[in-house]
Amino acid sequence: MGFICAGNWKLNKGPKEANEFFEDFQAKAQGLLLSDFAIYPSAFSLYTVSQELREKGFNWGAQNIYWESSGAFTGENSVEILKEMGATQCLVGHSERRALFGETNEQTAQKMLALANQGITPVLCVGETLQERKSGQTNAVITSQLREALKGWNANNSFWLAYEPVWAIGTGEVATPQQAEEAHQVLRAELEKLLAEKSKKTPILYGGSVKPENAFELAKMPNVDGFLIGGASLKVDFFRQIYQQGTKAKQSS
Ligand code: 13P
């Protein structure tokens, strides 16, 4: 695996725009290692994306999931249905889910387990608010979000981890490379504590206002294994440029 570039489209792009994105991406994808990429479209565009990406090695999946497989749960989507569509991954615990929809640490743990049971890789998001950073709680908050989400976790299962400081999401204010590296080091150490040797296979992505202009410096940090990109993942050219900057930074360090 090279430098990971994952795009969280949030509530953007219906099926038509999703289709256009992948037509454009594929036209410009020569020489790119598709397994370094991931996209999380809105639920209603997942079927279209499944038609574009099935069996291509590109990682893709939902932005949220429910842990029950079926039943009277109006409005929810299950891991089983996601799997049937051919998805390989799913976001868990994004800060917008936590802040706007009340997602708890207990729920992130349930989602992690439900996904792992079906062989879908969770992409767990953790991150502190500005207030938490200012009051010196960053490390405590992110390690506790990680520990809580891994309750009952079997170390043989794989997942990706994303550090997304809430104050840097969609604000244009990006963490400095040092801030990102420090948080990633803390998370890496916590992963080692929780999962021992097996923790080494978990990549840690940085997310929060990643753009082509700041990608190189962030990607130079030894513990930044990739990015989780919101706004800039909506444009094929930005997404590709970020990947190129990330790959170049890793090759030069
Ligand atoms: P932005 O890149 O738009 O700041 O969003 C980051 C994010 O939340 C990705 O999950």
> Which pLDDT does position 214 carry in this prediction?
97
> Which pLDDT does position 31 carry in this prediction?
83
CA atoms within 13 A on the CB side of 88: 16
φ, ψ at 18 (rounded to 5°) = -65, -45
Ligand 1 cavity residues, CB under 6 Å: 8, 94, 164, 169-170, 207-210, 228-232
| Total number of domains in the chain | 1
* pLDDT tens digits along 93-134: 999 999 999 999 999 999 999 999 999 999 999 999 999 999
Where the chain has pLDDT below 50, the residues are none
- Is there a catalytic annotation at residue 184? no
pTM: 0.97
Q: Which residue has the tokens 């454009």?
A: 24
Ligand 1 center from residue 201 Cα (angstroms): 24
- Is there a catalytic annotation at residue 94? yes
CA dihedral 99, 101, 104, 109 (to 10 degrees): -120
Measured from the Cα of 96, ligand 1's closest atom is 8
> Which pLDDT does position 29 carry in this prediction?
83
Q: Which residues contact 235 (CB under 8 A, 6 or more apart)?
A: none
> Which pLDDT does position 1 carry in this prediction?
76
* pLDDT tens digits along 81-100: 999 999 999 999 999 999 99
Ligand 1 center from residue 123 Cα (angstroms): 14
Ligand 1 center from residue 164 Cα (angstroms): 8
Domain harbouring 43, CATH code: 3.20.20.70
Domain of residue 99 covers 4-252
Measured from the Cα of 228, ligand 1's closest atom is 9
Q: Hey, whose CA ends up nearest to atom 9 of ligand 1?
A: 230
Measured from the Cα of 171, ligand 1's closest atom is 4
**The two three-digit tokens of residue 17, written as one number:** 């725009």
